[in-house]
């Protein structure tokens, strides 16, 4: 499952909406689209074998340019899978919704005085990945959840800043942390 720790990201879009529960109950909800770059090793957590199907090692006689070599070294990719296997592919999409996520959205602006936004019980969907030479991927995804009026305002303020730092916690880790706190 996808997990990000203190990862720089961009908020691409925010969409507020009303979620209906039965005939008379209406609740605020929202969708937030994020994009970020990450080492290709993150693909291993999404689907075993995905990274190997999208990346290959540099063949003898081939050479990565200096920027791509730097990125691969910074990402600590030790198995050499840094060359995009199929350069003409459009971004790869995962056709599955993941429920039970938690996200923390932090301010990275120079004044950086906004309180972190913590949202729970998210649905992560529309996950798409574009492999890049040098062993990284650009990812985009949407998170959806019910919101309070205060959270709507905080999210829109973060959207205006655009650049944020996110921690995305999958449901299994969230459950484990709650068990650790109870012990």
| DSSP per-residue codes, 66-96 | HHHHHHHHHTT--S-EEEES-TTPPPEE---
Dihedral class, residue 80 (left if φ above 0, else alpha if ψ from -120 to 50, else beta): left
pLDDT classification of 176: cutoffs 50, 70, 90: very low
Instruction: Extract long-range pairs of 114-118: CB within 8 Å, 24+ residues apart.
Output: 114/154, 114/157, 114/158, 114/161, 115/154, 117/151, 117/154, 117/155, 117/158
Q: What is the pLDDT of residues 96-130, one digit of tens each?
A: 899 999 999 999 887 767 899 999 999 999 999 99
What number of other Cβ atoms are within 10 A of residue 20's Cβ? 10
**Helix, strand or coil, per DSSP, at residue 147:** coil
What is the C-alpha to C-alpha distance for residues 154 and 43, in angstroms, rounded to an integer?
Answer: 31
Q: What is the pLDDT of residue 80?
A: 79
pLDDT at 23 over 70: yes
Residue 69 has pLDDT above 90, yes or no: no
Q: Read off the pLDDT of residues 145-171 as tens digits, 9 standing for 90 and up.
A: 999 999 999 999 999 988 999 999 999
3-class SS of residue 181: helix
Helix (H, G, I), strand (E, B) or coil at 183: coil
Tell me which of 75 and 4 has the higher pLDDT: 4
- Interacting residues of 37 by C-beta distance below 8 A, sequence separation 6+: 132, 136, 137, 138, 139
Whats the size of the chain, residue-wise? 183
């Amino acid at each position: 499952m996808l997990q990000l720790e203190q990862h720089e990201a961009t908020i691409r879009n925010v969409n507020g909406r009303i979620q209906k529960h039965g005939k008379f109950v209406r609740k605020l909800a929202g969708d937030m689209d994020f994009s970020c770059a990450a080492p290709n090793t993150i693909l291993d957590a999404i689907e075993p074998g995905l990274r190997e199907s999208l990346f290959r090692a540099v063949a003898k006689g081939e050479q990565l340019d200096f920027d791509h070599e730097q990125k691969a070294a910074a990402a600590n990719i030790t198995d050499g899978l840094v060359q995009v296997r199929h350069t003409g592919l459009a971004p790869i999409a995962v056709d599955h919704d993941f429920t039970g996520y938690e996200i923390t959205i932090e301010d990275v602006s120079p004044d950086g005085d906004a309180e972190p936004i913590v949202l729970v019980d998210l649905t992560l969907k529309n996950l798409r990945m574009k492999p890049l030479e040098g062993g990284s991927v650009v990812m985009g995804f949407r998170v959806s959840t019910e919101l309070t009026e205060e959270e709507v305002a905080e999210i829109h303020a973060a959207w205006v800043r655009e650049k944020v730092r996110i921690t995305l916690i999958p449901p299994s880790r969230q459950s484990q942390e709650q068990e650790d706190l109870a012990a």
